[in-house]
């Protein structure tokens, strides 16, 4: 088989989704599965839906268009604020988007009217993480603006914490969101059906609280795909961490000194490497590098460790393992390593479970 290769176990993804859905739904919270780290894979999205997710969210219009073409019936949300230059594709490729800018909302409404659709809008509120979001004291006015745009329907409010500044989505933040929902409803005169409280960083709060307030949705990517939560990178209870395995091929195995020799300058990435301690190491070189994966987020099998990585070579201490040239070594990935592997044109993907090919990377240069 070809390498490097990302093996995806779709049953693990479906199972992780099911575990989360079964714990959240009794608390009044449904799950939107976030597919962006899988490049909007239709197979991954289908596994999330099989596990009980009610909708799919993605940050890229290209991914949403692919998902829409594969299954026009799946509710799709653009979870990044739309580009002004893409509003027509946004209203065609998704049912709903997360928004913060009046100028974008006006353009979305015009595009929706052109397409003869009504586009659903969730307004994102800034609660301290300082990425996307409208200031708390401007939310009600912006909601009234949306209510006045005939191509749009205001479905709800949301917030996103943790991603930029690591701010924890705690009871206080979620209570603030719930209060705003009441204020907006009073102003626009209709109930909001979507209160999307955050991402995988919200799980600790969601499982622990005895008052979810008005929050009725979470947008979950990392926890479903990797089994971890983003605040401390702990494994979420009951979830599996082995949905993705990156297989790489061994191209050299030699016993070498641990300590390099000669005069030391910088390595390929501008760092001055340590000379290494005395002694020998059984080392393998893999045809895998920074063009394929973030080596800091790739974990080799027990008893092996990563010694170094350049663009195209990864050097592994193989310990007592009987590794030979041509062998494949499997790595578990963190979020950063997964995203790099998924977006690398050198990494092929293969699925087990109900088969459907994963997407090729979206062409970004020279495309119409
Ligand atoms: C990426 C993203 C998510 C999903 O985050 P995870 O930590 O992967 O669960 C949710 N909402 C928004 C706005 C995002 O950008």
Write the CATH number for 302. Answer: 2.40.30
State whether 70 and 203 are in the same domain: yes
Q: Is 364 part of any domain? A: no
Tell whether 96 and 216 lie within a shared domain: yes
pLDDT tens digits for 60-72?
A: 999 999 999 999 9
337 and 260 inside one domain: yes
Q: String of b and e for 7-20 (b: at least 16 CB within 10 Å)?
A: bbbbbbbbbbbbbb
Q: How far is the CA of 45 from the centre of ligand 1 (A)?
A: 15
Tell me: do 299 and 222 sit in the same domain: no
Calculate the alpha carbon distances from 338 to 115, 140, 299, 333 in Å. 36, 38, 11, 6
| Cα of 164 from ligand 1 centre, angstroms | 11
- Quote the pLDDT of residue 350: 85
Asked which of 32-41, 330-339, 346-355 is least confident by mean pLDDT, the reply is 346-355
Question: Of 178, 194, 226, which residue constitutes the final position of a domain?
Answer: 226
**What is the Å distance from ligand 1's center to 265 Cα?**
41
CA of 48 to the centre of ligand 1 (A): 15
61: which DSSP letter?
H
> Each residue of 131-155: pLDDT tens digit?
999 999 999 999 999 999 999 999 9
Assess if residue 167 is contained within a domain.
yes
Task: Establish if 42 belongs to a structural domain.
Answer: yes
Where in the sequence is the domain holding 14, given as residue range(s)? 9-226
Percent of the chain with pLDDT over 90: 91
Q: How far, in Å, are 183, 201, 235, 241, 305 from residue 226 at the CA level?
A: 37, 13, 8, 5, 21
Residues lining ligand 1, CB < 6 A? 34, 36, 59, 79, 160, 199-201, 219-223, 230
Stronger pLDDT, 253 or 354, i.e. the higher one: 253
pLDDT of 366 over the 70 cut: no
- Which among 317, 314, 252, 330 has a CA at the least distance from the CA of 282? 317
The Å distance, Cα 213 to ligand 1 centre, comes to 21
Number of alpha helices (DSSP H) and beta strands (DSSP E) in the chain: 10, 16
Lowest model confidence (mean pLDDT) among 110-119, 125-134, 260-269, 320-329: 260-269
Mean pLDDT over residues 274-298, rounded? 95
Across 193-345, the runs of DSSP E, i.e. the strands, are 194-196, 217-220, 244-257, 280-286, 298-299, 305-309, 314-317, 328-333
- What spacing in Å lies between the alpha carbon of 34 and ligand 1's midpoint? 7
- The candidate with the shortest Cα–Cα distance to 298, out of 336, 267, 268, is 336
**In-domain check, residue 231:** no
Last residue in a domain, options 226, 254, 288 = 226
Residue 342 lies in a domain: yes
Nearest to 41, CA basis, from 346, 352, 342, 344: 342
Tell me the pLDDT tens digit for each residue of 229-263: 999 999 999 999 999 999 999 999 999 999 999 99
Q: What is the CATH number of the domain that holds 30?
A: 3.20.20.10
Asked if pLDDT for residue 367 goes beyond 50, the answer is no
**Residue 7 predicted with pLDDT over 60:** yes
CA 131 / ligand 1 centre spacing (Å): 12
Q: Determine whether 267 is exposed, middle or buried from the number of CB atoms within 10 Å of its CB (0-12, 13-18, 19+).
A: exposed
Instruction: Looking at the CA of residue 34, tell me the nearest atom of ligand 1.
Output: 4
What average pLDDT score do residues 101-118 get?
98
From atom 5 of ligand 1, which residue's Cα is the shortest distance away? 199
Within a domain: 94: yes
**pLDDT over 80 at 368, yes or no:** no
Average pLDDT of every residue of the chain: 95
What is the position in ligand 1's atom list of the atom closest to the CA of 79? 13
Mean pLDDT of 180-197: 98
d(C-alpha 24, C-alpha 197), whole Å: 12
Span 81-106, average pLDDT? 98
pLDDT of residue 137: 98
User: Is 30 part of a structural domain of the chain?
Assistant: yes
Residue that wins the pLDDT comparison between 60 and 351: 60
Atom of ligand 1 nearest to the CA of 219: 10
Is residue 271 scored above 90 in pLDDT? no
Query: Which of 34, 55, 162 gets mutated to test ligand 1 (max ligand atoms within 8 A of its CB)?
Result: 34
The three-point CA angle 132-133-138 to 5° equals: 155
Examine the pLDDT at 356 and tell me if it is beyond 90.
no
Q: Whose CA is nearest to atom 14 of ligand 1?
A: 79
* CB-count exposure of residue 368 (10 Å: 0-12, 13-18, 19+): exposed
Q: What is the pLDDT of residue 56?
A: 98
The pLDDT, as a whole number, for residue 275 is: 84
Please report the atom of ligand 1 found closest to the CA of residue 163. Answer: 7
The model's pTM is 0.94
Confidence label for 352 from pLDDT (cuts 50, 70 and 90): confident
- Dihedral over alpha carbons 105, 111, 117, 118 (to 10 degrees): 10
Confidence of residue 359 (pLDDT cuts 50, 70, 90): low
Per-residue pLDDT, 51:
98
Instruction: Indicate whether 97 and 163 sit together in one domain.
Output: yes
User: 279-290, pLDDT tens digit by residue?
Assistant: 999 999 999 999
Rg (CA), the chain: 23
Ligand 1, pocket-test mutation among 58, 199, 233, most atoms within 8 A of CB: 199
Measured CA to CA, the distance from residue 144 to residue 154 in angstroms comes to: 9
Output the residue whose Cα is nearest ligand 1's atom 7. 200
**What is the pLDDT, as a whole number, of residue 353?**
66
Q: What is the number of domains present in the chain?
A: 2
> How far, in Å, is the centroid of ligand 1 from the Cα of 74?
19
Query: By alpha-carbon position, which residue is closest to atom 2 of ligand 1?
Result: 199
pLDDT of residue 201: 98
- 142 and 264 belong to one structural domain: no
CA distance 133 to 125: 4
Shared domain check, 26 and 86: yes
Q: Are residues 67 and 184 in the same domain?
A: yes
Tell which atom from ligand 1 comes closest to the C-alpha of 335: 8
What is the whole-number distance in angstroms between the Cα of residue 199 and the centre of ligand 1?
Answer: 5
Alpha helices in the chain (DSSP H): 10-24, 42-50, 61-70, 87-93, 102-115, 139-147, 171-188, 203-208, 222-226, 335-343
21 part of a folded domain: yes
Does one domain contain both 190 and 325?
no
Give how far the C-alpha of residue 225 lies from the chain's centroid of Cα atoms, to the nearest Å: 8
Same domain, 185 and 313: no
Nearest atom in ligand 1 to the alpha carbon of residue 229 is 7
Percent of the chain past pLDDT 70, that is, above it, reads: 96
Domain boundary among 195, 226, 257: 226
Mean pLDDT of 157-161: 98
Name 158's bridge partners: 124, 196
Q: How remote is the CA of residue 121 from the centroid of ligand 1, in Å?
A: 17
Indicate whether 95 and 210 sit together in one domain. Answer: yes
Kindly state whether residues 110 and 171 are assigned to the same domain: yes
């Amino acid at each position: 088989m070809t390498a490097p290769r990302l093996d995806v176990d779709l049953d693990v993804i479906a199972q992780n989704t099911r575990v989360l859905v079964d714990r959240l739904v009794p608390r009044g919270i449904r799950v939107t599965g976030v597919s962006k780290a899988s490049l909007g894979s239709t197979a991954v999205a289908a596994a999330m839906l099989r596990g009980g997710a009610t909708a799919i969210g993605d940050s890229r219009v290209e991914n949403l268009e692919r998902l829409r073409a594969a299954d026009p019936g799946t509710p799709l949300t653009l979870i990044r604020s739309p580009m002004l230059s893409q509003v027509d594709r946004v209203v065609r490729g998704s049912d709903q988007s997360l928004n913060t800018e009046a100028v974008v909302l006006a353009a979305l409404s015009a595009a929706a009217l052109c397409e003869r659709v009504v586009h659903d809008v969730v307004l994102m509120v800034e609660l301290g993480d300082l990425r996307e979001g409208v200031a708390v004291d401007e939310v009600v006015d912006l909601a009234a603006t949306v209510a006045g745009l005939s191509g749009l329907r205001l479905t709800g409010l949301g917030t996103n914490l943790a991603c930029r500044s690591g701010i924890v989505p705690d009871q206080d933040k979620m209570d603030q969101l719930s209060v705003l929902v009441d204020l907006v409803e009073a102003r626009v005169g209709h109930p909001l059906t979507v209160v999307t409280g955050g991402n995988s960083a919200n799980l600790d709060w969601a499982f622990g609280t005895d008052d979810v307030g008005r929050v009725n949705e979470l947008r979950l990517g990392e926890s479903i795909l990797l089994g971890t939560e983003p605040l401390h990178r702990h494994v979420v209870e009951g979830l599996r961490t082995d949905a993705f395995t990156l297989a790489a091929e061994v191209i050299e195995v030699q016993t070498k000194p641990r300590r390099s020799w000669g005069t030391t300058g910088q390595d390929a990435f501008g760092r001055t490497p340590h000379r290494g301690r005395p002694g020998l190491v059984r080392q393998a070189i893999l045809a895998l590098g920074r063009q394929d994966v973030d080596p800091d987020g790739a974990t080799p099998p027990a008893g092996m460790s990563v010694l170094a990585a350049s663009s195209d070579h990864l050097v592994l201490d193989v310990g007592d393992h009987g590794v030979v040239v041509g062998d494949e070594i499997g790595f578990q990935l963190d979020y950063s390593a997964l995203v790099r592997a998924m977006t690398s044109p050198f990494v092929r993907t293969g699925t087990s479970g109900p088969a459907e090919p994963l997407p090729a990377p979206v062409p970004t240069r020279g495309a119409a």
